[in-house]
Structures are given as C-alpha cells and as structure tokens.
Amino acid sequence: MRSGNNKKKKKKTIKSKVISWIFTIFFLFLFYIIFCGFIGGKRFYFNTSINGIDVSKMTAKEAAEKVRSQFESQYGDVAITVLLKDCKYDLEIADALNLDVMDAVHSALSDSHGFLSRGFMYIKSMFTSLEYTATPSIANRKAITEAIRNSGLNELADSGEKTYKIENDSIKVTKGRGGYEVDSEKLTNQIEALILSRNFTEPINCPIQYSEVNLENIYNDIYVSPQNPTLNPEDGYSLVEAVRGVSFDMEKAENMLKESEDGMELSIPLIYTEPDMSTEEFQAALFRDALGSFHTNVGGSDDRKTNVRLAAEHCNDTILLPGETFSFNNVVGQRTTERGFMPAPSYVNGESVDEVGGGICQVSSTLYNACLYANLQINERHCHPHESGYVGAGFDATVSWGGPDYMFSNNTNYPIKISSVYDGSYVYCAIYGTKEKSFYVELTSETLSVEEYETEYEDDDTMEEGEEEVAVRGINGFTVQTYRKVYDGDGNLIFNEPESISTYAKQDEIIKVGTKEKTEEETTENKKNKKKKKTKKSTEEAAGNETMNE
C-alpha cells in the first residue's frame, strides 16, 4: 500500500513541475513578446553600424542622412566585371540600381528588426557590435541589358575572330563551333543575381551562344584570286609579284560538315592555283620588244624646235598598263610660257598664226605613226586643216589645249613604255612592250577625192603695171583614206581594215597685180633684183607652210 502511495505522490510531483515549467516558459515568452514590442522597430540597436558608420539608436531617416554621401560615392559608379575570351569588361550598372539611400537603410533596418528577433538582437547589441551593409536594389532591369549593349561585348563577338585555323595546307574547323554571340538574357540574369546577393566584386564568365561553322564566310576570308605579276603605278611602277590563288571545294566541305558530329574537328584541303605567269617570266618579258617606231625631220625656227623638244620630253618614259589610255594633252599639259613653251607657227581655226606651243603636233603625229606600227588601239585622232610636210597625208595627228587630243590605249597583255626623244634634227618615237606573237604592220593610203584650189587676183597700187606677186600659195583640198594591214611572222595577212579618213581643206591662191603707172624705164639690173626678191619670198612661204604643225 505504501509503495502505491509513493508512486502516486511521485506522479503528482512530476506533473506539478511540468506545469510549473510550462507556466514559466509561457510567462517568459510573454515577457519576451512584451519586451520585443516595447523595443519597437524604428531605431537601430546599440553598437550598430551601417557600411562602417555608427548609427546606434538612430531612426532610418537619421541613419540615411549619415550614410548618404558614402552610399552614393560607393555605388554611384559601381560596375560588374565580365570575362570573355581573355578580355575583361567592366559593365557600369548604376543606372539599373535604386540609389535611394533611404530605401537601402530601411531594408537594413527591416532585416535586423524581425519581431521575434528584436529582443535577442537588442540584448546582443549591449555586448557586441552589429554591422549591417546597405546596398542598392534593382530598379531597372532594362538598364542592365543596355549596359551589356554598351560594354563592347557584342563587338568582340562580331570582331571577325577566326573560327578556323590553317595548318599543313588545310583548314581546321570544329563542328558546332562557328561564330558566337553574347547570351544577353542569361548574362542579365547573372548580373541581377549578383546585385541581389550584394556581391558586386565577383567577376562573371560571359555566357555565349555558338552558331554553326559558316563555310561561306571562311571561303570569302581565305579566297585569293591568282594574279599575274604587274607594275604598281602608285609606287613608281614598282614590280608587283605574282600571287598564287587559294580556295577550297565548297561542296565537299559542306558534305564533310553534315556528316560529322558536334565538337568534331574537320580538316578541309586547300586548293592552290598558280597564275598564268611567274614573276621571273614577267620580268624577262617586260619592255623586251620594240613594237613599233617612227621618226620625222624637225624644221622651222629655234622656238618651234624648243616646243618639239619639251613635248617629247613629257611623253618620254610614259608607261601604260594593259587597258590604260594615253592622252597627249594630259601628259604634255597646258602649253604656257611659264612651262617653257615658245610662240611658233600653228593652225588656229584653219589660219596659220604664232601660238605658244606651236610645233608640238609633230611629236603627236610621230607618236601616232609609232602606235600604228605597234598595232595599238587608237581612240582619238584628228588631222590638220592642211597636209603637214613631215608626215604623209592621213598620218598626222593635230592637238590643241582645250581642243583636239590624240589618245590611244594599251590593248596588249603587257605594260608598254613610250620612248620619245628629240636629238636636234629628228624626233624619234617608239613603243616598247612584249610581243606574244611575231607580227608587222604595213600602212597605206588612198586619195578618195580632190578639190582644186582657185586663183584670185588682187590689184596692188604699190606695184608697177605688169608686175605680179603670189601673196598666198594655192593648196588643193583632198580626202584621204588610210589602211592598217597586219601580218603574222610568216607573212600571212591577219588584219586589213580602214584606219581613218582625213579631209584637208583647199587654200585658194591669191596673186597681187601691180596697177601703178611706170614713171621711168627700169634698168635691167633693177628688174633682175626684183625677180630675185620675188623668187626668194615665194620660196620662204613654201618652206613655212611645209613646217606648219598644229
């Protein structure tokens, strides 16, 4: 009986203790709740700092005022570091952040003032320091995307970085590893995550998206057209060496790519194409042959000969690449006294006058004949008003600044060079180039029509009756057709076409007739003197007309 009673008493004691503990805990919890409510959530605790600044017992507003300058300075130019292809980019994201310090301080205050944790944190602050970090929140996600766009990351992706390499006469590419672009959406998410975690210092490896290998872009990048050697007119006609062509079989490469697995490296063979001519062959053939030449005897005054010399010097050593055109007026330039040209007889509007540069047509005409014998393409050529004395009818070429020009083209496959030299008596013109096949040219002419000149008589009261004098020598007008015949090295005619038609105007003869009455008988000696004078004058006029040039 006694043991049973003991057990009952023991159970009552345990129950009493449990109830006591429950009430104790309840009252302690109630007290803690009241204590937490009493503390409130409007002020920071003892020994509390934000971003290293003491804000103990301050309200959010008071704390915000204290940390404002430091907050804006720290986050006003904050940047996230992004790594891409061994390059580092700092993305300025301040525009994406909410830099209102009050919001950040309120956030810090809320984090430390949970209702049930207030009492504990309050007591803890009495014995230890509490440190909080106020950081901005995300205000504008689009600003992050804009920062990515402005960072230059996409420029690196579009920079033409090669997705291939050349090794052992082949192109190495990897299936599925062509060009790439920045995955802006994924990068934006990663930056947003760093901001939310208040981690502004950790760099991000930029996420990228690969595209398939673009064989067409690779082909355009590596393709080199085979080039024959030539001369560079921009560098004093220096030698430009031959270039070997490079390409690959596009269809074969596409099939290789289709049949391969992702990540597999492919080796595409390169195709090399040799040019038609090597640099050494070109150098050996350059200006090797005299394609055609011609020379004329230079007469007239010293001033006319000066003009001929200057024009020849300007033309000398002119080089034309295949397809290029020579313009006499452009090469010789404007004829002025400042450039050394002198007044000499020249045709202007069909009349013979002294003009600066008179005589240079002898150079253009001599060059014209050399070009004909070289079998070059003639683009522009004009004849004189009257036949010239230094070349046959139909084979002259008149020029005038701002007027008629003489032009021809290099229709050969090699560069040509003009040699134009005046030696004091003759002007020599030659065309040097390369004869791919032997040929020679024969020039002929045919008179199509003739217009005879008429004779006019004019009274002259300064001459005695019975006296006559030729004032203007008569010249027949006529039309001439020239021909160019080209023969191969074996004498076979391979070209026979009309070259040009030249029409020369007639010049009527004018004879002066004396009307003055005789006052005394002339002596035989006087008659002889007048006859000699007349003959000498006519001879000089004839010589002058023969040497007219332009």
Q: What is the pLDDT of residue 169?
A: 92
Find the mean pLDDT for residues 532-547: 42
Q: What is the pLDDT of residue 548?
A: 39
Which domain covers residue 352, as residue numbers?
Answer: 286-546
Strand order in the sheet with 170-174: 165-167, 170-174, 265-269
Same domain, 275 and 303: no
- Helices (H), ranges, 40-100: 60-75
Same domain, 305 and 372: yes
Find the mean pLDDT for residues 405-421: 97
Above 70 in pLDDT, residue 109? Answer: no
Q: What is the pLDDT of residue 550?
A: 46
Residues with Cβ within 8 Å of 386's Cβ and at least 6 positions away in sequence, in order, are 347, 475, 504, 505, 507, 545, 548
Last residue of a domain, one of 246, 264, 282: 282
- DSSP, residue by residue, 377-440: EEEE----SS--SSS-TT------TTS---EEE--SSS-EEEEEEE-SSEEEEEEEE--SS-EE
Look at residue 323 and tell me if it is in a domain: yes
Report how far apart, in Å, the C-alpha atoms of 322 and of each of 120, 283, 395, 409 are: 96, 15, 25, 8
pTM exceeds 0.85 for this model: no
Last residue of a domain, one of 234, 255, 282: 282
Q: What is the pLDDT of residue 183?
A: 81
Q: pLDDT for 132-174, tens place per residue?
A: 777 777 877 888 888 888 887 777 665 556 788 999 999 999 9
Same domain, 293 and 402: yes
Average pLDDT value for the chain: 83
Look at residue 243 and tell me if it is in a domain: yes
Q: What is the pLDDT of residue 528?
A: 53
Above 60 in pLDDT, residue 259? Answer: yes
Same domain, 293 and 379: yes
Same domain, 420 and 483: yes
Above 80 in pLDDT, residue 348? Answer: no
How many domains are contained in the chain?
A: 3
CA-wise closest residue to 78 among 132, 135, 131, 155? 135
